[in-house]
C-alpha cells in the first residue's frame, strides 16, 4: 500500500478577475473554484488517476477540515486523518488577475498528542509499503519531524519517498530513503555548487547517494529529468512539448507517476521515469492536476 502524509492540507479558494487587482477597492470576480490540496494529497490524487490505491494521512481541524475530508471521499480518495480538537484546516486565497496574488492561511497547531496519533497509524505499515513525505513542516512542529518518523520506521522495510528541500531532505538521508526528488536548483543549493550540465548533476546526485539516498530523481523543468538509481545506472529523459500554464503540483505529480510506474512495472526504472515525467508535464500543461487522458497522450510522445 502507498501512504501519503500532508501535515498542513488546505482548501484553495481560487478567484479569477478580468482586470488587475485593485487594493482597497471592491473587486468583482468572473469565476471561482475550490481546490482541495496539499502536496501529499496531490500525490494521492494523481495516483488515483493512474489506478494506484493510496491512503492520505495527515491532520484536519474544524468545519473546513470536515469539508476537505468529505470532498476527498467524493473524489474516491481514501483518507485516515488525525482530527485536531482546536483550530481549522487552512484556506488559501489565490487571486488570478494580471498578476497572481496568494494569501496562504497558517493552519492549526499540531500538538504532541496528535503527532503520537499519526505515529500509531504509521506503526501499521508493512514491509514494502511506500510512505511519501512531501513539503514543508508547519511552524508548530519541530523541523526534525521527518527524521522522527523515519527513525520510527527504520528497519521495517518501509520504502520512504521524500520530496523536501535543504536540511529537511539532507537530514533524512541517513535513514536510506528509497527515493528523493530535488529539482536541479535545490540540488545546487544542497551541494553548494551551481550545476550547469548533466555530468555535474550526476556528480551531485552521487553525493546524496553516498549519504544514504537509494535513488535520486532530479527534475529540471523544461529540460526533463535525470535519475540515478541504486544500481548506479543513470537515466536521462527530455520533456514533452507543451505550454506551461501551471507549476503547482507538477513535482507532486512526478512523484506519483514515478511511484506508480515503479510498482506497476515490477521495479523498472525507465518505465517509472517515463511515467513520472508524463505526469509532471501533464499537470504543468493543465489548469489542475494531471488526468489519466492527458498523461496517456503525453506518454506516446516521450
- 128 in any annotated domain: yes
Give the model confidence (pLDDT) of 193-215 as tens digits: 888 898 999 999 999 999 999 99
Residue 166 pLDDT grade (very low, low, confident, very high; cuts 50, 70, 90):
confident
**Residues 19, 97 contacting (CB under 8 angstroms):** yes
Q: Which residues constitute the domain of residue 145?
A: 2-8+38-83+110-299
| Dihedral Cα 282, 287, 291, 297, nearest 10 deg | -40
The CATH number of whichever domain residue 175 belongs to comes to 3.40.1190.20
Catalytic position from the list 129, 229, 252, 294: 252
- 226 in any annotated domain: yes
Give the model confidence (pLDDT) of 38-64 as tens digits: 999 999 999 999 999 999 999 999 999
- 57 in any annotated domain: yes
Give the model confidence (pLDDT) of 93-138 as tens digits: 989 888 888 899 999 999 999 999 999 999 999 999 999 999 888 8
- 136 in any annotated domain: yes
- 272 in any annotated domain: yes
- 98 in any annotated domain: no
- 27 in any annotated domain: no
Strand partners, 190: none
**Active-site residue flag, 252:** yes
Per the structure, the count of domains in the chain is 1
The three cell numbers locating residue 38:
496539499
- 94 in any annotated domain: no
Amino acid at each position: 500500500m502507498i501512504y501519503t502524509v500532508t501535515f498542513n492540507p488546505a482548501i484553495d479558494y481560487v478567484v479569477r478577475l478580468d482586470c488587475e487587482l485593485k487594493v482597497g477597492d471592491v473587486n468583482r470576480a468572473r469565476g471561482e473554484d475550490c481546490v482541495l490540496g496539499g502536496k501529499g494529497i496531490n500525490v494521492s490524487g494523481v495516483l488515483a488517476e493512474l489506478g494506484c490505491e493510496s491512503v492520505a494521512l495527515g491532520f484536519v481541524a474544524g468545519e473546513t477540515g470536515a469539508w476537505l475530508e468529505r470532498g476527498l471521499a467524493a473524489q474516491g480518495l481514501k483518507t485516515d486523518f488525525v482530527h485536531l480538537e482546536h483550530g481549522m484546516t487552512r484556506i488559501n486565497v489565490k487571486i488570478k488577475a494580471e498578476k497572481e496574488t496568494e494569501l496562504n492561511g497558517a493552519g492549526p497547531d499540531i500538538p504532541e498528542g496528535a503527532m503520537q496519533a499519526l505515529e500509531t497509524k504509521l506503526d501499521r505499515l508493512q514491509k514494502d509499503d511506500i510512505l511519501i513525505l512531501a513539503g514543508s513542516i508547519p511552524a508548530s512542529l519541530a523541523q526534525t519531524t521527518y527524521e522522527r518518523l523515519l527513525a520510527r520506521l527504520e528497519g521495517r522495510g518501509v520504502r520512504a519517498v521524500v520530496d523536501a528541500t535543504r536540511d529537511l531532505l539532507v537530514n533524512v538521508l541517513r535513514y536510506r530513503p528509497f527515493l528523493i526528488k530535488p529539482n536541479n536548483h535545490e540540488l545546487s543549493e544542497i551541494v553548494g555548487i551551481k550545476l550547469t550540465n548533466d555530468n555535474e548533476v550526476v556528480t551531485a546526485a552521487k553525493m546524496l547517494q553516498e549519504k544514504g539516498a537509494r535513488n535520486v530523481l532530479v527534475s529540471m523543468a523544461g529540460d526533463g529529468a535525470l535519475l540515478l538509481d541504486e544500481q548506479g545506472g543513470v537515466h536521462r529523459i527530455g520533456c514533452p512539448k507543451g505550454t506551461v500554464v501551471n507549476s503547482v503540483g507538477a513535482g507532486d505529480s512526478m512523484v506519483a507517476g514515478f511511484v506508480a510506474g515503479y510498482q506497476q512495472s515490477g521495479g523498472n526504472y525507465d518505465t517509472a521515469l517515463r511515467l513520472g515525467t508524463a505526469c509532471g508535464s501533464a499537470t504543468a500543461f493543465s489548469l489542475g492536476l494531471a488526468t489519466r487522458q492527458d498523461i496517456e497522450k503525453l506518454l506516446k510522445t516521450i
